[in-house]
Structures are given as structure tokens and as C-alpha cells.
Amino acid sequence: MSESIHQISTRYWEKLDNDHVVCHLCPRECELRDGKRGVCYVRMAEGGEIVLTTYGLSSGFCIDPIEKKPLNHFLPGTPVFLVRRVVI
């Protein structure tokens, strides 16, 4: 499998005899065939393994008051731009 920046091989899965793979990352233990995504919609089966499809992508952007962040004594009363990232 060729990995792109947004598709990374993962751990905690096993291959079954029927060409499906089982993800063991959460209690749902999704059984997937190639091209199908799990309930989380973050992992999918491709090339006989589970890959993470959101690696390096942002999970959200927002503008919060600076008092919510650990920077609360730095320019009080000003907004701060927050970028959340998906982490494995």
C-alpha cells in the first residue's frame, strides 16, 4: 500500500480468514472488508489492513477568549485562534 499524508497504517487490528480485518481499537471491534469504514469513520480497511484516513487533518477551528487557554495572563480580553489536530 502506498501511504499518503492522510492515510497511515495503524496497529491493533487482525486479518481474518474471510479477507476481512477486525479493528481492536475500541470495544465495537468493527469487522471490515476492503474499502469500508468503521463506525468511527476514521479508520478503514484497505489492502488487507486498517488505515487511518484523517492523519494530519484538522478536526476543528474556533476563536475562543484567551481566558479559556493557558495564556490567560497574556493580553487579557483578546481572542485566540485555536486549531485542533487529529492525533493517533
pLDDT digits (tens, 9 = 90+) for 52-88: 888 777 777 777 777 776 766 777 777 877 776 655 4
Q: What pTM did the predictor assign?
A: 0.59
Q: Which residue(s) pair with 31 in the sheet?
A: 22
Scan for cell 474556533, then name that residue. Answer: 62
Distance between CA atoms of 2 and 62, rounded to whole angstroms? 33
Read off the pLDDT of residues 6-51 as tens digits, 9 standing for 90 and up.
Answer: 678 888 999 999 989 999 999 999 999 999 999 998 899 998 999 9
Domain limits, the chain: 8-52, 57-88
